[in-house]
Structure 1
């Protein structure tokens, strides 16, 4: 899996590249996180199937729950404004997620850097 490890504002991150296979299961990502000793995994939206953003499928919930169980944080990076505009449920999910410290939906890496710099990186 093509990814790079970096540290931003004291948080070790495994950032997946936009090119690559679709993320379907958290197990491989969690293994990579442990292997690279990271606290957060950043996944570009290009690596997620469109069904991920349809909450009724349960894909998002399953993925997020596994990350929470292993005390790993997750950042979804990319423009999801069209999906959010078309789904009241997704809009609420994204809003609630971005209020916490375990799952963030952010526009890009620069937004992740800003979020971490703001001190939002502390576990709650």
Structure 2
């Protein structure tokens, strides 16, 4: 996981990994699988990723990339919050996808790191 800064946030007896980079971290399904594997190997089960570090193709649901990658995250029970400004996307299907995801606790989309940490905290 080169060029990725991982900051660990403590929340009760749990750790939340905040990933950030000046580059795109997830460009493809393979990048997503590698990321899940690395985090799983490190014992991390809660992660914050920034929208800016994910390829724009992820947010075009027609590509299928979001579904494929998020399925891997779900299979490994990696609770994930993506932080960003999603209002700039005009796709109704993406908006619906985000709303539906936010009803659950596995994959969520929020606008701030504080919201992400609160969602991923054990009492959330």
Specify the TM-score bucket, using the shorter chain as the normaliser.
0.7 to 0.9
Residue 74 of structure 2 corresponds to 68
Structure with more contact order per residue of length (Cα contacts < 8 Å, sep ≥ 6): 2
Residue 82 of structure 1 corresponds to 88
Structural RMSD (CA): 1.9
Say if 2:14 is the partner of 1:11: yes
Say if 2:104 is the partner of 1:103: no
Residue 49 of structure 2 corresponds to 43
Normalized against structure 2, the TM-score is what? 0.83
Unaligned segments of structure 2, at least 5 residues: none
Q: Does the 8 Å CA contact 1:12/1:37 hold for their aligned counterparts?
A: no
**CA-to-partner distance for each residue in 1:69-109, whole Å, 9 max, x for gaps?**
111111111111111xx111011100011110100001121
Normalized against structure 1, the TM-score is what? 0.83
SS at match of 2:100: helix
Unaligned segments of structure 1, at least 5 residues: none
